[in-house]
Each structure stands twice: as structure tokens, then as C-alpha cells.
Amino acid sequence: MVMKKASKGSTIVIVGAGYAGVAAANRAARTHTVVLVNERPDFVDRIRLHQHLATGREVRTPLTDMVRPGVRVVVARVERIGDGVVTLADGSRLDANHVVVATGSGVGIGSLPWAEAARSALGALPQGGRVTILGGGLTGIETATEIAEAHPGLSVSLVDRSRIGRNLSPAGERHLRASLGRLGVATYEEGRVPSDSDLTIDCSGLTVAPLAAASGLPVDDVGRLRVDSALRVPGTSRVWGVGDAAVVDGAPHLRMSCAAAQAMVPHLVSAIRAVDAGRTPAALDVGFAARCISLGRRDGLVQLVRADDSPTTAITGSMGAVTKELICRYAWGCMTWLSRLFAAPRGPRATTRRETEAARG
Ligand SMILES: Cc1cc2nc3c(=O)[nH]c(=O)nc-3n(C[C@H](O)[C@H](O)[C@H](O)COP(=O)(O)OP(=O)(O)OC[C@H]3O[C@@H](n4cnc5c(N)ncnc54)[C@H](O)[C@@H]3O)c2cc1C
């Protein structure tokens, strides 16, 4: 079989320099001309934003320090995406053989301004001030525990309309509850709410940028760009979606996460290379290995999961904290020095699905 070599001259414009965008830029740089467009000059390490809001930990790194030589960084807000063209806020255009939408989910909740506002509001609270964290998902749990540990003088409540920790294994949920109790975080679940609060921090869900919808591209009911199993936007030949900004046809197990965003990248770059070489891109085949939750700096919960994200066993306590920290560093490596070697866990197999259904009864 004669394989056509991917053309080095082919240009990829990647919109959004988060975990997916930076990893894709560095991975593709060897074979393509890459332009990485981001609305700010630095990368924001969003998986540490709860640390930033509770302790002031720095989360910004200049993008130019993260990309390989040859990747061109353009600092601009993208207003519109077309098939092979990107329009910037000043009206100028970037032409491309491929456009990758990697604009993430940092609108409001879980953004740097959200963390900075929470941080300054926390700093203004008096001793004994009451903080309510709205939403008992992973972001809410990490935020509540980080604040409780860093600000022991504040009274922290975690509120969710359902049972907090319901998606964990029984051992994982037990550990979570013990940790919340140890840190003095009061839980309000299934309709119960605290009677009063001095500060509410909303952790009730991540929101995607309106760019795809504003560009007339197909989106789901929360505005995520619809892509096919190869990560390409149906009806276009060279617009791709990756990370939190995209919802992948046939992959309902992929929740918004840094883990999934980075897992999609090797496939994305291979798919673009396949198209350049005149081949049909393969279908995405990625899944999860773990959900990593920090419970302050000295405690953690690494919930091991099957490829379809259903829980198995849990690593807890100080071992959980160390594992979570190593995984945060690994995520950094996957974007930078490891970007060309990183391989994602494979997606759910029929047997995994059967095991999960059996476990659910
Ligand atoms: C407190 C917290 C803790 C978390 N912890 C974890 C964790 O432990 N594990 C995990 O897997 N996930 C975690 N997440 C979720 C994770 O941060 C996101 O899923 C991840 O950031 C998605 O990566 P991404 O590359 O798709 O997009 P993002 O990281 O959101 O990056 C998107 C980029 O696109 C830019 N952009 C957007 N619109 C435009 C535009 N129009 N023009 C130009 N640039 C644009 C943005 O400025 C941003 O730089 C956490 C989230 C939060 C808030």
C-alpha cells in the first residue's frame, strides 16, 4: 500500500490555548504549520483554580513558554469560525487548511475572573464568616475543602440538590464524607439549604463559550460544538472540535474534563494527518482511568474508574493527595514535553459496558 506523506505545508489554526489547544499545537508542530490563537497571552491552569482562590497559588504561565519552536501564538479573541477561516475581533482573518475549535468551558464558573472574584471576596470576610459553595460536583468539593483547610476561621457549607458523592464508589463516598467532616464542611443535600450566608461561590457547572453557535456551526442544547466520531464538524471538511468545547457523537461517556480534553488530542492530530494524506480518519477511541479529587493539600481521593467513567476502587488520604498532585503535573507534561508521546486510555469495550450494567444491577 502506498501512503501519501502528510504535507508539512498544511496550516492548522487552533482556537483556544487550554489543555487541549496547547497539547494539540505541540503535538502537530512537527508535521504542520501551527497557529495558536488565544484571547489572553497566558495559559490558565484551570485544574488549580480552587487553589488560586483559596491560597493565591499562581495559575498563569506565558503561552510562549509552553509551545514548541515553530508554533505561532496570536493573542486575539476569535469572533467567528468558518470552513478554513478564522475571523478575529479586529476584523482580520487567518486562513487555514484546518481549524480546530478548542475554546473550552471557562465562561463564568471555573474561569480565572471567577476565581479572582471569589479570592478577593474571601479575603474581605471577617473571622467566622459563612461561605456557601453551590454545587457538590468535583469543582464544588475541591473548592469547599481547599477553603476550609486554608481558612479555618470561616464556616464552609457545600450545597447540592442531590446526594454529594453519589457517583463515587462506596469506599470513595465514605472517605469523602469523613474528609468533609474532618474539615468542618457542613453538607446540605437534596433540597436542604443553609439559613444564611455571607458569600456564595457558584460551582454548579461549567459553561462553554458561544463561539460555535455564533458561527452558525451545529451545537447541542448547552452550546457545545457537535463533532462526529473523528472529531470533525459534520457538513464541513476541515473544522474540528476538541476538549470541553465539543460534544462527540457516539461518546456519551466523555464528561467535560482536562482528562478527556487531553485524551482527544492524539486522535485529533492523527485524524488531521489522515485527511492530509487522503485517508479517512478513524473513529475516536478514548476513555477514562480515574477521577482525581483534592480534599485540601494533605488529603485526596483518586477514584479509579472503568473506561466509561464508572467507579471501581479508590486511593484515599495522603496517598490520594500525592497521586492527585502527580496527575496534575502529568497533565502539564502531556501538553508540553510529553505532548508527542502521550497515549490516551482506550474507550469502553462491550465487556466494560456489561460489567457496568451488572454493577448497577
Ligand atoms: C477548579 C477546577 C478544578 C478542576 N479540576 C479538574 C481535574 O482535577 N481533572 C480534570 O480532568 N478536570 C478538571 N477541571 C476541568 C478542566 O479544567 C476543564 O475540563 C479543562 O480546562 C478543559 O480544557 P480545554 O482545553 O477544553 O479548555 P480550557 O482549558 O477551558 O481552555 C480554553 C481556552 O480557550 C480560550 N478561548 C475561549 N474562547 C475564545 C475565543 N473566542 N477566542 C480566543 N480564545 C478563546 C480560553 O481563554 C482558554 O484559554 C477543573 C476545573 C475547575 C474549574
Are the CB atoms for 22 and 66 separated by under 8 Å?
yes
For ligand 1, is residue 203 a contact (CB within 6 Å)? no
State residue 181's pLDDT score.
Answer: 98
Taking the CA of residue 43 as reference, the ligand 1 atom at the shortest distance is: 49
Q: Which of 38, 49, 292 to mutate to test the pocket of ligand 1 (most atoms within 8 A of CB)?
A: 38
Q: What angle do CA 93, 98, 102 make, to 5 degrees?
A: 85
State residue 361's pLDDT score.
Answer: 52
Taking the CA of residue 292 as reference, the ligand 1 atom at the shortest distance is: 8
Taking the CA of residue 40 as reference, the ligand 1 atom at the shortest distance is: 47
State residue 261's pLDDT score.
Answer: 98
Tell the residue nearest (CA) to atom 47 of ligand 1.
39
Burial of residue 221, with CB atoms counted within 10 A of its CB: 0-12 exposed, 13-18 middle, 19 or more buried:
exposed
State residue 191's pLDDT score.
Answer: 86
Q: Which of 15, 42, 87, 103 to mutate to test the pocket of ligand 1 (most atoms within 8 A of CB)?
A: 103
For ligand 1, is residue 46 a contact (CB within 6 Å)? yes
What pTM, to 2 d.p., does this model score?
Answer: 0.95
Q: What are phi and psi of 81, to 5 degrees?
A: -115, 135
Q: Which residue has 496570536 as its cell numbers?
A: 74
Q: How far apart are CA 142 and CA 150, in angstroms?
A: 12
Q: Model confidence over 191-231: pLDDT tens digits?
A: 899 999 999 999 999 999 899 999 999 999 999 999 999 99
The alpha carbon of 309 and the centre of ligand 1 are apart by a number of angstroms equal to 19
Q: Enter the C-alpha cell of residue 249.
A: 457523537
Q: How far apart are CA 95 and CA 74, in angstroms?
A: 13
Q: How far apart are CA 275 and CA 100, in angstroms?
A: 14
